[in-house]
Structure 1
Amino acid sequence: MPADTRLSRMLHVLIHMDHIGAPVTSEAIGRMISTNPVVVRRTMAGLKAAGYVTSGKGHGGGWALARPLDEVTLRDIHDALGGPKLFAIGLADDDPRCLVEKAVNAAMDEAMAEAERRLLDRFGEVTIGSLARDVAHARQNL
C-alpha cells in the first residue's frame, strides 16, 4: 500500500503560500508538488471547508490562506484532510474464533490506538507557523 502523502504535501503548500503572500493557482500548486491541478482542487476543498484557505476565481484568483499559520496545527490539517490513516499495520482476521488471534489483535489494537492518540496529540502541539520559521531559519544558515 503506498504511503498517503497528502498531509506532508499540504503542509508544504501552505508554507509556500505563506511565503508567496498572494493567491496561488491550482496549476502552480500542482507544479509545486508534482500533481494534477484537479487533485489540488479536490484536496484543497477540504482545507477550504475547514476554514484554512479561501479560493477566488478569475484574473488574480487562486488559493489563499484564511488564517495565520500560527493558528493552524498539523492536527488541524490532518483532520481537514479527512483524518487519513496513520499506520499501515493491520490486524489479522483469518479466524475470529482463534484465541491466539484474539489476544494478538487486542494487544496490537491497544498499542496502535495509544500510538495514534500520542501522535495526534503531538500534531496538535505543532503549528505550521513554527514549521515556516524553521524553514526561514534554515534558509538563513545556508
Structure 2
Amino acid sequence: MRADSRLSRMLHVLIHMDRHEGSTTSDTIALMLRTNPVVVRRTMAGLREHGYVRSEKGHGGGWTLAQPLAAITLLDVYRAVGEPPLFAIGPAEEQPKCLVEQAVNSAVGDVMDEARTLLLGRFGEITLASLAQDFDERCAGVYPFEEIIQ
C-alpha cells in the first residue's frame, strides 16, 4: 500500500505560503510538489472549505492563508485533506463468520482505535506555527532562505 502524503505535503505548502508575500499560484505549488496543478487545486479546495486558505482567480490571483499558522493544527489540516488512512494495517474481512477472525479483528480493532485516538489528539496539539518555528531553528544561520526552498 502506497503511503498517502497529502497531509505532509499540505503542511509543507502552508508553511511556504506563510513565508511568501502575496499569493501563490497552483502552478507554483505544483512545481514544488512535482504534481499537476489540478491536483493542487483539488487538495487546496478542502483547505479553502475549512477556512484555512483563500483563492483569487485571474491575473495576480492564487492562494493565500486565511488564518495565521498559530490558529491551524495538524488535525485541522488532516481533516481538510479528507482524513486519509492513518494506518496500513487493519482487520481482515475474508471470513466474517470465522470465530478466530472475529477474535483477531476485535483485538486489532480495539488497539487501532486507541492508537487513532492518541494520534489525532496529538495532531490537535501541534500548530503549524510550531512546525514553522522548528524549520526556522533548523535553518538559522545555515543557509540563506532562498536556497532552502528550491
Q: TM-score range by the shorter chain?
A: over 0.9
Say what the alpha-carbon RMSD is for the aligned residues: 0.8
| Deviations 1:49-103 (CA, angstroms, capped at 9, x unpaired) | 0000000012211000000000000000001111111011121122212111111
How far apart, CA to CA, are the structure 2 residues paired with 1:34 and 1:95? Answer: 41
Whether 1:85 aligns to 2:89 is no
Whether 1:138 aligns to 2:127 is no
How far apart, CA to CA, are the structure 2 residues paired with 1:141 and 1:128? Answer: 22
Gaps of 5+ in 2: 143-150
Aligned to 1:74: 74
Aligned to 1:117: 117
| Deviations 1:4-60 (CA, angstroms, capped at 9, x unpaired) | 100000000000000013100000000111110000000000000000000001221
> Which amino acid is 2:25 matched to?
T
How far apart, CA to CA, are the structure 2 residues paired with 1:141 and 1:94? Answer: 56
How far apart, CA to CA, are the structure 1 residues paired with 2:36 and 2:5? Answer: 14
**Length-normalised TM-score, structure 1:** 0.97
> Which amino acid is 1:98 matched to?
C
How far apart, CA to CA, are the structure 2 residues paired with 1:4 and 1:14? Answer: 18
Percentage of pairs with the same residue: 58
SS in 2 for 1:64: strand
Superposition misfits of 4+ residues, deviation over 2 angstroms: none
> Which amino acid is 2:22 matched to?
A
Whether 1:12 aligns to 2:44 is no
How far apart, CA to CA, are the structure 2 residues paired with 1:118 and 1:90? Answer: 17
How far apart, CA to CA, are the structure 2 residues paired with 1:93 and 1:71? Answer: 40
Moved more, 94-103 or 42-51: 94-103
Aligned to 1:50: 50
Aligned to 1:62: 62
Aligned to 1:105: 105
Gaps of 5+ in 1: none
**Length-normalised TM-score, structure 2:** 0.92
SS in 2 for 1:54: strand
